[in-house]
Amino acid sequence: MKIMKSGYVLEQEYSQAKVRLVLVLGVLFYFTIINYQEKAVWIASGYWVYSLLVMYHIKKTQKASVLRRTFNIIGDIGAIALAMRYSDSNAVIMYPALLWIIIGNGMRFGVKSLLVSLAVAEIAYAYVLVSSSYWLTQKGVVYSLIIGVAAISLFYILLVKKLHDANDILEEKVAQRAAKIEYMYLHDSLTGLKNRAALIAELQKSKYAGLILIDIDNFHNYNELYGMKIGNDVLKGVASWLKQSSLGKRYEVYRIHADRFILRSRDANIDPDTIEKDIKELIGLFKNLKITIETLDEVLDIDATIGSALGDEQVLKMVEMALKHAKTTRKQYIIYSDHIDDTSYSQELLIWKKKIKEALEHNNIVPVYQAIVNSDNEILKYESLMRLRELHEDKEKLISPFFFLDIAIKSKIYPRLTLAMIEKTFRDMKKNGNKFSINLTFDDMINSYIVDALRSQIKKYDIGKQITFEIVESENIDDFAYAKKFVQEFKELGVEVAIDDFGTGYSNFTHILELEPDYLKIDGSLIKNIAHDQKSYELVKSIVTFSKSLGIQTIAEFVASKEIFDICRDLGVDHFQGYYFSEPLVYNALQEYELKRRSDELISVS
């Protein structure tokens, strides 16, 4: 049988003390009001005081006590015996209380307490028998009561023993099941190695650890070429090989995720030189590793990228940074150092992600509009540009997407930004009546939600002929057939097309011509340097000549000065955009801007 915990026993003692107080009051009431017995009243009154003292002692000591429980058994049964001694046959009513005390002690405190209670009860009955003239004449009743108490108590002992045996069996099964669940929780089901949860638990116990993180190169190829079963066989082969290798004796091996394994040094004081030496040994072992796949009768060569770190409770995070850096820089291994720590970037990413989401929720992703003019400085259209609006001390601040666009893309929030820009820009320009352009990437063009939004908003506002799609030139355009179909569909709705950022980086002229653009927007990096860089000048000149021969108009952006404007105009650029003409303006400022331009024109004419 299981040993009872002291906290449970103390709780039971206190509970018994409260019940004792209530029962003694009941007995006192019975012998005072219903069947007055003077001596029984005195006994009950004294025992009620004793019960109060017991409760006080329990509260004061806050400890379970075998001695106190023994005194309580003697006191409880002794009080009943005295009541029977002095109240003759009326005390028979106390018999159920006596049974309750004996069996109750067994239920609360175990079989030992029951046996003590039974022994005290038998002695008490013997006392009643020899000391009471009434009970001497009722020996048969006394014997029956004594035998009854013993029989019931012994039956209870047998029952309790069976219950305890059954409970022991159940607890053993529960313990086995719990151990199995714990094993499953801490071990990888495929390889039998300890898993990430086990590693974290063990790292929390240690102040310092050395880790080597192994990532199997191009593991997804095994799954794709041979199927999941063969991929699993490869993982089991690597796991077994690591455990049996020379490093397996000096390191604990874990599989923490898919194709990633960790070696944790058994040496709590391992130093950087030793761990680098072990990494080089591991790389040498990998060169000779051959995993035999019997079902394919094939031997596979396995390569890996490795990250390593030594440190405290942050060591797992550090080793994952090292592996990430190794994969990014295409090095076979990297040992963690402060200069590769991207924690600050991660924190910045989380901050901006929160800002972007809050801006979307509070309608603070807003378009601003920058004029595009002809060579006579007449407004032809506006380009819609995204801004994130923030309020600081009741002052509005508009933040350029330069600071948050990459994070929005990585966080997969970017499509929501595009949808917000489409809805707001189309609504504004319907009211304004001017032509306008909006930026789209290839990812926007293949996003069904964005494409549906473009269709519905164009039809809703009937503004197809006002719109130019500025498609960003990029290597991401890997399906020109789809891009061509997209452009043709919207051209039929009156939309014009410009190729944005043309002239640097990726330029597939054949495919671009298939899109039949109306404009080529020359990359701003060429325009802003055109006054001082001969290469930029010659490249812009070539683009203009090339475009004119194909009947495509050109737009120069980043025109920041009269000098740049004059050069571009002399080269034959058709349209111009930049701070020389206008900074980007919120919609409510456009009307004032246009009125001011008309006023300036009138003044210059007069």
Which pLDDT score, from 0 to 100, does residue 603 have? 60
Mean of all residue pLDDT scores within the chain: 85
pLDDT at residue 451 is higher than 90:
yes
To the nearest whole percent, how much of the chain has pLDDT over 70?
91
| SS3 at position 400 | coil
Convert the pLDDT of each residue in 432-447 to its tens digit. Answer: 889 999 999 888 999 9
In this prediction, residues 88-107 reach a mean pLDDT of: 68
Q: 487-520: string of b/e by CB count within 10 Å (b at 16+)?
A: beebbeeebbbbbbbbbeeeeeeeebeebebbbb
How far is residue 217's CA from residue 232's CA, in Å, rounded to a whole number? 15
CB 528 within 8 A of CB 508: no
pLDDT at residue 124 is higher than 70:
yes
Contacts (Cβ under 8 Å, ≥6 apart) of 328: none
How much is the pTM?
0.53
How far is residue 340's CA from residue 338's CA, in Å, rounded to a whole number? 6
CB 253 within 8 A of CB 243: yes
pLDDT at residue 454 is higher than 80:
yes
To the nearest whole percent, how much of the chain has pLDDT over 90?
42
Predicted confidence band of residue 193 (pLDDT cuts 50, 70, 90) = very high
Contacts (Cβ under 8 Å, ≥6 apart) of 104: 16
Which pLDDT score, from 0 to 100, does residue 384 have? 95
In the chain, the largest separation of any two C-alpha atoms, in whole Å, equals 142
Which pLDDT score, from 0 to 100, does residue 1 have? 44
Predicted confidence band of residue 192 (pLDDT cuts 50, 70, 90) = very high
DSSP 321-389: HHHHHHHHHT-SEEE--GGG--HHHHHHHHHHHHHHHHHHHTT-EEEEEEEEEETT--EEEEEEEEEEE
Specify the DSSP element, H or E, that contains 293.
strand 290-293
Contacts (Cβ under 8 Å, ≥6 apart) of 383: 369, 370, 372, 436, 437, 438, 439, 470, 577
pLDDT at residue 256 is higher than 90:
yes
Compare 540 and 164 and report the one with higher pLDDT: 540
pLDDT at residue 508 is higher than 70:
no
Convert the pLDDT of each residue in 386-420 to its tens digit. Answer: 999 998 777 889 999 988 888 898 888 999 999 99
pLDDT at residue 605 is higher than 60:
no
pLDDT at residue 92 is higher than 70:
no
pLDDT at residue 475 is higher than 70:
no
Compare 95 and 151 and report the one with higher pLDDT: 151
CB 539 within 8 A of CB 573: no
How far is residue 121's CA from residue 98's CA, in Å, rounded to a whole number? 8
Contacts (Cβ under 8 Å, ≥6 apart) of 129: 135, 136, 139, 142
Which pLDDT score, from 0 to 100, does residue 504 have? 65
Convert the pLDDT of each residue in 522-576 to its tens digit. Answer: 999 899 999 999 999 999 999 999 999 999 999 999 999 999 999 999 999 999 9
Predicted confidence band of residue 72 (pLDDT cuts 50, 70, 90) = confident
pLDDT at residue 473 is higher than 60:
yes
